[in-house]
Structure 1
Amino acid sequence: MAKLIAMYKTPKDAAAFDRYYFATHVPLAKKIPGLRKYDVSTGTVETPGGPAGYHLVATLQFDSLAALKTALGSPEGQAAAGDIPKFADGGADLFFFDTKDV
């Protein structure tokens, strides 16, 4: 399995972020080919030391890193990636990697 982790920093207007994210961005992202699972954080994103400065963390799962990279290169993947600046005015960090059970 491979995962893409999108960590959205605290936006200027959290309510506007949430409206756009769930009404517009999620439907775009769900069209990405090869997407197996998509979940998001709920509530505050924290660290052992307190709030993390992130508003939302999304985890998208694919069969492999190769499948994830192919998906990101697809028109649907490009549309979802291109949509991020439209709502994530606090910025976003994206990470993707293969995983294994331990």
Structure 2
Amino acid sequence: MIRLTVIYNVPANATAFDAHYRDVHCPLVEKMPHLQGFSYSRGAVTSSDAAKPVHLVAYLDYASMADLEASLNSEAGKAAVADVANFADGGVTILTTEI
């Protein structure tokens, strides 16, 4: 199984971030093909790096790297990736791991 972990740093406006993430971004992610699991943190996130405080962490699970790549290259995947610029002004770190 492949896990895509998306770490969102603290945005300028957390309330606007949360509303956009919940109402716009999550529905886009949920349309991505081959997605086997999608979850995200609720509430405070602690980080060992105080210089880069974290606001939210999302997890997207896929059966294989090929499925992840196909998902990201789909129309739904491209829309979700493009949408990140609309709300994640604090910066994003993306990790891909095998679990």
Are 2:47 and 2:53, in contact at CA under 8 Å, matched by a contact in 1?
A: no
2:67 paired with 1:67: yes
Partner of 2:89: 89
Q: Could you tell me how far 1:96 is from its partner in structure 2?
A: 1.5
> How far apart, in 1, do the equivalents of 2:51 and 2:57 lie?
13
CA RMSD of aligned residues (A): 1.6
> How far apart, in 1, do the equivalents of 2:26 and 2:90 lie?
18
Structure 1 residues 48, 96: CA separation in 2 closer, same or farther (over 3 Å shift)? closer
Q: Could you tell me how far 1:98 is from its partner in structure 2?
A: 2.0
Structure 2 length as normaliser, TM-score? 0.92
Provide the secondary structure at the position in 2 that maps to 1:16: helix
| Structure 2 residue ranges without an equivalent (≥5) | none
Provide the secondary structure at the position in 1 that maps to 2:83: helix
Q: Could you tell me how far 1:65 is from its partner in structure 2?
A: 1.3
| Structure 1 residue ranges without an equivalent (≥5) | none
**Equivalences for 1:1-102 in 2 at 5 Å?**
1-47=1-47, 53-99=53-99
- Aligned pair count reads 99
Structure 1 residues 47, 90: CA separation in 2 closer, same or farther (over 3 Å shift)? closer
Structure 1 length as normaliser, TM-score? 0.89
> How far apart, in 1, do the equivalents of 2:12 and 2:49 lie?
23
Provide the secondary structure at the position in 2 that maps to 1:19: helix
Percent identity over the alignment is 37
Runs of 4+ in 1 over 4 A off after TM superposition: 48-52
Provide the secondary structure at the position in 2 that maps to 1:94: strand
